[in-house]
């Protein structure tokens, strides 16, 4: 197919181009391409690389009542996300190659591309060493959903090269110290405080990366059980530090930490996590309209940096030869987030009722139109390939 008259970002300015897609890849990007392919007229829309969400919990297994790979991926596609990296705190957790293979089977339901983190209890090093094509090993240094908090953290740093952590406060320092000692690549999930930003600012290197979530950027701390999450929502000063962290390049990525739970579970309290794949990009586009971000920055945070950090092959850029993972965005479209319109199985969002300007209207995954103006086409995604 051919996308005609899309505006794409080139050297910081939007220029009108056609994008020719053949065999799931971007074949050519130019002005006025002549072709007999099926035309998608993108007049008035902006084309950006598909969003790569480096932090989702698509549940499934014994928690498929919360979300499964089909519903989670439909929600992702509706939010302009074309690839997700899924966390291992499942029930049962992903601690062995056998567990991971079971998850790979479940993920075949996904309409977006998928990659996985491997879990650890601190003692499954032989299994980790056998695992192939994973994003990183996820180390929980705090208690959160799944009760995977690891005692013997050092053993994991000593034996694994690429590590993602759920660390808060002092544990951020501890993770960084261990990463320096054992020369790891370290991905710090959902950074949420000024203090953490200051630590990372001091220790930043080409092997230490930090993620922020939309909820820590856009929600105010409150006491409703629906907004119970790990890390919890923080003060206005912390929120400001996160935004400064984005401006200064201390924050490398925005990950949704899409962590769905059923409405009844949330109401009864003590249940950490909120859904987020459908609102990540709209919130960022709205922030562009409010001049808090630039489109260039959003593409860096959500496409280019995940590719660089995790070594993802053939994605993250609108370039000839790359996978045709593309989102068409209407930067002026105004729409309200509504629980009833969501694709996530849990059917609620902490952003319900928020009117946002800037929405994805079409999501193309491997050259297939998977989300088209409110409708999902059930065409399956592929595994993400890590090139290392």
- Active-site positions? 257
Residue 160, contacted partner among ligand NCD, Zn ion, none, CB below 5-8 A by kind: none
- Find the shortest distance in angstroms from Cβ 293 to ligand NCD: 23
Query: Smallest gap, in angstroms, from Cβ of residue 39 to ligand NCD?
Result: 42
Residue 45 interacts with which of Zn ion, ligand NCD, none, CB < 5 to 8 Å by class: none
Among the listed ranges 19-27, 121-129, 209-217, 263-271, the one in contact with Zn ion (CB under 5 A) is 263-271
Distance in angstroms (rounded) separating the CA atoms of residues 378 and 343: 13
Closest approach of Cβ 272 to ligand NCD, in Å? 3
Phi, psi of 164, rounded to the nearest 5 degrees: -115, 140
Q: Which is nearer to ligand NCD, 273 or 381 (CB)?
A: 273
Task: Count CB atoms within 10 A of the CB of residue 353.
Answer: 10
Number of residues that this document lists for the chain: 388
Which stretch in 73-81, 196-204, 245-253, 268-276 sits in contact with Zn ion by CB under 5 A? Answer: 268-276
Please report, as ranges, the residues that interact with ligand NCD according to CB under 6 A.
Answer: 57, 89, 144-146, 166, 229-230, 257, 259, 272-273
Residue 7: φ, ψ to 5°: -90, 130
Q: Which listed residue (76, 85, 212, 271) binds Zn ion by CB under 5 A?
A: 271
- Give the contacts of 2 (CB within 8 A, at least 6 positions apart): 18, 19, 20, 21, 33, 35, 37, 38, 39, 40
Binding map of Zn ion across residues 160-189, x = CB under 5 A, - = no contact: ------x-----------------------
Of 17 and 66, the one with the shorter C-beta distance to ligand NCD is 66
Closer residue to ligand NCD in complex, CB, 257/325:
257
Q: Verify cis geometry, omega within 30 degrees of 0, for the bond prior to 160.
A: no
Contact of residue 229 among Zn ion, ligand NCD, none (CB under 5-8 Å per partner type): ligand NCD
* Cα–chain center distance at 25: 22
215 is a contact residue toward Zn ion (CB under 5 A):
no
Q: Which does 89 bind (CB under 5 to 8 A by kind): Zn ion, ligand NCD, none?
A: ligand NCD
User: Judged by CB, which is closer to ligand NCD: 265, or 352?
Assistant: 265
Quick one: tokens of 346? 């849990």
256 binds Zn ion (CB under 5 A): no
Nearer to ligand NCD, 6 or 164 (CB): 164
Secondary structure of 103-148 as H, E, C letters: HHHHHHHCCCEEEECEECCCCCHHHHHHCCCCCCEEEECCCCCCCC
Pair of tokens at residue 316:
């993250």
Contacts of 54 (CB under 8 A, 6+ apart): 85, 135, 187, 211, 253, 255, 306, 309, 310
Least distance CB 341 / Zn ion (angstroms): 24
- Enclosing H/E stretch for 256: none
Residue 229 Cβ vs ligand NCD, minimum distance, rounded to whole Å: 4
Number of residues that bind Zn ion (CB under 5 A): 6
Alpha-carbon Rg of the chain, whole angstroms? 20
Min CB(75)–Zn ion separation in Å? 15
Long-range contacts of 155-161 (CB under 8 A, 24+ apart): 155/122, 155/123, 155/125, 156/120, 156/122, 156/125, 156/128, 157/181, 157/182, 157/184, 158/182, 159/125, 159/128, 159/129, 160/120, 160/125, 160/128, 160/184, 161/185
Residue from the set 4, 83, 110, 145 that interacts with Zn ion by CB under 5 A = 145
Contact residues: Zn ion, CB under 5 A: 145, 166, 257, 261, 271-272
């Amino acid at each position: 197919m051919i996308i005609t008259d899309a505006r794409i970002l080139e050297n910081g300015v939007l220029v009108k181009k056609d994008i020719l897609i053949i065999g799931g890849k971007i074949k050519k990007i130019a002005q006025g391409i002549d072709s007999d392919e099926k035309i998608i007229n993108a007049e008035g829309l902006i084309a950006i690389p598909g969003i790569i969400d480096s932090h989702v919990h698509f549940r499934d297994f014994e928690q498929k009542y919360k979300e499964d790979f089909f519903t989670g991926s439909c929600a992702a596609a509706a939010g302009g996300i074309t690839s997700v990296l899924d966390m291992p705190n499942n029930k049962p957790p992903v601690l062995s190659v056998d567990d991971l293979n079971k998850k790979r089977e479940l993920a075949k339901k996904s309409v977006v591309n998928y990659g996985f983190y491997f879990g650890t209890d601190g003692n499954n090093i032989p299994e980790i060493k056998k695992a192939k094509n994973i994003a990183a090993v996820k180390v929980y240094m705090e208690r959160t959903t799944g009760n995977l908090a690891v005692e013997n953290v050092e053993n994991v740093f000593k034996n694994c090269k690429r590590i993602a952590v759920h660390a808060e406060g002092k544990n951020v320092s501890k993770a960084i110290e261990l990463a320096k000692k054992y020369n790891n690549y370290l991905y710090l999930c959902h950074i949420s405080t000024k203090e953490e930003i200051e630590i990372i600012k001091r220790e930043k290197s080409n092997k230490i990366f930090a993620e922020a979530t939309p909820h820590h950027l856009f929600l105010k701390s409150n006491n409703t059980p629906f907004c119970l999450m790990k890390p919890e929502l923080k003060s206005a000063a912390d929120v400001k530090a996160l935004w400064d962290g984005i401006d200064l390049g201390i924050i490398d990525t925005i990950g949704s930490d899409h962590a769905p739970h059923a409405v009844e579970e949330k109401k009864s309290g003590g249940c950490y996590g909120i859904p987020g794949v459908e609102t990540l990009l709209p919130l960022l586009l709205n922030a562009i309209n409010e001049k808090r971000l630039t489109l260039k920055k959003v593409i860096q945070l959500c496409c280019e940096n995940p590719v660089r950090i995790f070594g993802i092959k053939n994605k993250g850029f609108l370039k000839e030869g790359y996978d045709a993972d593309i989102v068409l965005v209407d930067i002026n479209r105004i729409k309200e987030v509504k629980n009833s319109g969501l694709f996530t199985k849990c059917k609620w969002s902490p952003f319900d009722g928020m009117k946002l300007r800037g929405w994805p209207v079409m999501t193309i995954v491997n050259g297939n139109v998977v989300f088209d103006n409110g409708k999902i086409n059930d065409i399956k995604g592929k595994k993400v390939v890590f090139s290392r």
